[in-house]
Amino acid sequence: MEYLRYPEYTGEALEQVLEPLTWLINDKKLHILACLYAETFADLAKESEEHFLPTPVTKLPTGKEKGKFLAIDVGGTNLRVGFVELLGNDGTTASEGNVPGVAQIRRSHEKAWPIEEHLKMDQAEDLFAWIGDCIAEVITDAMNAGVDDLGDEIALGITFSFPMKQDSLSEATLMPMGKGFAITSDVNLGNMLLSGYARHFEERTTNGDAQAENGSTEPSTKRRKVSKLPKLRVAAITNDTVATFASLAYAFKSAPNSRAAMGLIVGTGCNATIPMKLKALSDAKRQSVRLPDGADPEETKIVINTEWTIKGTDLPLDSIGMKTYWDEALDKASDAPGFQPFEYMTAGRYLGELVRLVMVDFMGRRGGGKDMPTALKEKNSISTTFLATVVAQDDDGLLYSKLDEMFPAPSKKSNFEWSVERVEMLRGVTRAVQVRSSALIAAATVGLLACVGEIDLEDPEAKGPGFSRHGNGDPTEGIDVSGATEELVVGYTGGTISRYPGFLETCQNWIDNLVSKGSPKNANKRVVLREATDGGIIGAAVLAGTTLNGS
Ligand code: GLC
């Protein structure tokens, strides 16, 4: 059986050992996978309640939005809070350091905090009280620094890296989620956040002698009420992937042959967003969307949060036998078994653990089970950051000394050492896991673009014209004969794709390959990954900006 291939590790060459992770990573299989993704995504948009979630975003930002917002990004690993001022751009002038036509932003008083495990395990009230304290800290810093234009009420743009149900931009209900958080679904996220902060602005009673508003000095015996910090108003709540896409659309100068097509995150988690026609969605999803006045319900596009790692999107992976024994082991031992199988194979929260499981398995079967470093047997003892900053770097000295320090021999009597062979194995496993993740994300990206008709994918196994997302009519139909290349820009963010050595390049190479070999109709199309740095926090403010400008 192809599925769950188990390696026979008896000392063969490393390539053979790694075969379960690498044997399907080739042009042909990835092309098949991309086609299967396109089909599966179309089905999930029509049938699933958990995937392809409509968001209230029917228009992309224009780049002209202006205003100052407090932006909050609740990620899977960090919380980030800061002021983001949208300076917009009228498309005509180039001021100092500005590119004409490209909208500018100014960020200030930004701070980030790791979300500790104990906070993730807390009740929603406690987690949000902590978030409220962090927000208060940033506002206090700004006020202490002399910022005096905050007014009585600060408008918020909030990004959550979780799935949510949304009927309007200012409200969101949490759906079941992973990433090790204990908070349950059905929580009203905006209200939770406001109540977490409430004690920082609630009026308090004081004995102060301060100047009263009418200019008179109140007697010190009289008690008066003062409020501590400005109130908050939720202007926009959004998923981090949608925010990334919005931030790309805001800052990106669209040209006739280049436009923002999709948003992608590969960080702690993995997700994608894309505009889709309403008619591609199920009735229930369509009914939940409030269309702008006069919009054509058939043709209007809305931005979709695909949640493309939640169970169901792994159907294509299963049908070609992509999952290995180790993927299954990781899934079973995860916080949410079976919940996000595609995330477990691609995202930063899991790649380190996958490498650890493969290493423990190999070393055990080489007879080193008893002599294995104790720390290596502990779940999550290899992090993806360790892979990216130590294992995937060229510096051997650093790698050996870190391995000795983090994973020492289990006892003084032990003969264990980080031999050249073991270190080569670790590097090989790490590389195979990274390449597979990049390739799978490339296939899913191309599949998603094909699902909405942005590119074409033909059935690689058909003898004649076969499966095509654009229909099987005239083989030259859709080919741009003008010779101009159309650039479809995928805005990405996230530590794994941005900082893991080689990740971005491998992913872009596979995308190029899949697009060019996918169909002759793609001859004049190029899909380009472009960084939307800190898209989560900027996009939150950008979407808040669209509410002020009535777009
Ligand atoms: C997870 C979440 C999703 C989020 C992604 C990236 O997949 O389910 O909502 O966008 O991580 O942070």
Query: pTM of the entire structure?
Result: 0.89
Atom 1 of ligand 1 has which residue's CA nearest to it? 269
Q: Which of 162, 273, 306 to mutate to test the pocket of ligand 1 (most atoms within 8 A of CB)?
A: 162
**Residue of 164, 240, 245 best suited for mutating to test ligand 1, as the one with most atoms within 8 Å of CB:** 240
Give the angle subtended at the CA of 211 by the CAs of 209 and 214, to the nearest 5°.
135
Q: Which atom of ligand 1 is nearest to the CA of 265?
A: 6
Q: Per-residue pLDDT for 464 more than 60? A: no
For the CA of 178, the closest atom of ligand 1 is 8
Question: How many whole angstroms from 349 Cα to the centroid of ligand 1?
Answer: 11
Going from the Cα of 148 to the center of ligand 1, the distance in angstroms, rounded, reads 36
* More reliable by pLDDT, 100 or 515: 515
Domain assignment present for residue 345? The answer is: no
Residue nearest to atom 8 of ligand 1 (CA): 162
Would you state the pLDDT for residue 427? Answer: 96
For atom 2 of ligand 1, which residue has the closest CA? 162
Mean pLDDT of the chain: 87
Q: Is the pLDDT of residue 463 over 60?
A: no
Per-residue DSSP letters for 278-312? Answer: GGGS-HHHHHT--PPTT--TTT-EEEEE--TTSTT
Q: Give the total number of structural domains in the chain.
A: 1
- Give me ligand 1 centre to Cα 466, in Å: 34
- Please name the residue that has the structure tokens 């502990």: 378
Q: What is the mean pLDDT of residues 27-51?
A: 97
What are 59's two structure tokens?
Answer: 């228009």
Q: Which residue has the tokens 């050492």?
A: 417
**Ligand 1 pocket at CB < 6 A:** 76, 161-163, 177, 239-241, 265, 267-271, 307, 309, 343
The residue whose CA is least distant from atom 3 of ligand 1 is 162
102 or 539, which is more confident: 539
Indicate whether 393 pLDDT > 90. Answer: yes
Boundaries of domain holding 122: 67-243+536-549
Residue tagged 């009735």 (tokens): 283
Report the separation in Å between the CA atom of 473 and the middle of ligand 1, taken as the mean of its atom positions: 38
| 282-298 residue pLDDT tens | 999 998 888 888 888 87
Quick one: pLDDT band at residue 480, thresholds 50, 70, 90?
low
**Is position 387 within any domain?**
no
- Classify residue 301 as left (phi > 0), alpha (psi -120 to 50) or beta: beta
CB 37 within 8 A of CB 448: yes
When pLDDT is averaged across residues 503-530 and rounded to a whole number, the result is 97
* 355 assigned to some structural domain: no
The per-residue pLDDT for 252 is 81
Is residue 186 very low, low, confident or very high in pLDDT (cuts 50, 70, 90)?
confident
Task: Compute the average pLDDT of residues 400-416.
Answer: 94
More confident residue, 511 or 10: 511
Q: Is the pLDDT higher at 458 or at 96?
A: 458
CATH code of the domain containing 169: 3.30.420.40
Instruction: Give 292: exposed, middle or buried? Use CB within 10 Å, 0-12, 13-18, 19+.
Output: exposed
Identify whether 120 is part of a domain: yes
Would you state the pLDDT for residue 163?
95
Average pLDDT over residues 24-39: 96
How many angstroms separate the alpha carbon of residue 308 from the centre of ligand 1? 9
| pLDDT score recorded for residue 54 | 95
How many Å from the N-terminal Cα to the C-terminal Cα in the chain? 54
> Per mean pLDDT, which range of 124-138, 148-162, 460-474 is the poorest?
460-474
What is the per-residue pLDDT across 189-219, written as a single tens digit (0 to 9) for each? Answer: 999 999 999 989 765 555 544 444 444 444 4
Among protein residues, the one with the nearest Cα to ligand 1's atom 4 is 161
Element holding 274 (H helix, E strand): strand 270-277
- At 389, the pLDDT band (50, 70, 90 cuts) reads very high
CB atoms within 10 A of CB 17: 22
447 pLDDT more than 50: yes
Least confident interval from 240-254, 302-316, 516-530: 240-254
Comparing C-alpha atoms, which of 316, 318, 319, 342 is closest to residue 37? 316
How far apart are the CA of 6 and the centre of ligand 1, in A? 30
pLDDT attached to residue 103? 79
Please tell me the predicted confidence (pLDDT) of residue 15. 81
Determine the distance separating the centroid of ligand 1 and the alpha carbon of 271, expressed in angstroms. 5
Does residue 338 form part of some domain?
no
277 C-alpha vs ligand 1 centroid, how far in Å?
22
* Phi, psi for 312 (deg, rounded to 5): 125, -40
Q: 253-292, pLDDT tens digit by residue?
A: 767 788 999 999 999 999 999 999 999 999 999 988 888 8
Contacts of 294 (CB under 8 A, 6+ apart): none
pLDDT digits (tens, 9 = 90+) for 332-358: 999 999 999 999 999 999 999 999 999
CA-CA distance, 25 to 377, in Å (whole number)? 29
Q: Rounded to an integer, what distance in angstroms lies between the CA atom of residue 171 and that of residue 290?
A: 13
Residue 442 in tokens? 């490339």
When pLDDT is cut at 50, 70 and 90, the band that residue 368 belongs to is low
- Rounded distance from Cα 163 to ligand 1 centre (Å): 7
- Determine, yes or no, domain membership for 4: no
Instruction: Using the mean position of ligand 1's atoms as its centre, give its distance from the Cα of residue 177 in Å.
Output: 8
pLDDT at 32: 96
Atom of ligand 1 at shortest range from CA of 241: 10
Atom 9 in ligand 1: which residue has the minimum CA distance? 162
Q: Percentage of residues in the chain with pLDDT exceeding 70?
A: 85
In a domain, 279, yes or no: no
* pLDDT above 50: residue 229: yes
Ligand 1 mutation target, pool 238, 270, 437, most atoms within 8 A of CB: 270
Round to whole Å and give the CA distance between 148 and 154: 12
Which of 307, 345, 492 is the pocket-test mutation for ligand 1 (most atoms within 8 Å of CB)? Answer: 307
- Compute, in angstroms, the gap from residue 307 CA to the centroid of ligand 1: 7
Got the DSSP string for 388-435?
IIIITSS-HHHHHHHHHHHS--SSTT------HHHHHHHHHHHHHHHH
DSSP class of 188:
B
Q: Where residue 158 falls among pLDDT bands split at 50, 70, 90?
A: very high
* Alpha carbon of 361 to ligand 1 centroid (Å): 29
Residue owning the nearest CA to atom 11 of ligand 1: 269
The closest-lying atom of ligand 1 relative to the alpha carbon of residue 177 is 8
Q: What is the pLDDT of residue 122?
A: 85
Average pLDDT over residues 388-415: 94
If one residue of 50, 160, 239 were mutated to test the ligand 1 pocket, choosing by the most ligand atoms within 8 A of its CB, it would be 239
Residue 94 resides in a domain: yes
Expressed in angstroms and rounded, the spacing between residue 381 Cα and the centre of ligand 1 is: 23
pLDDT at 469 exceeding the cut of 70: no
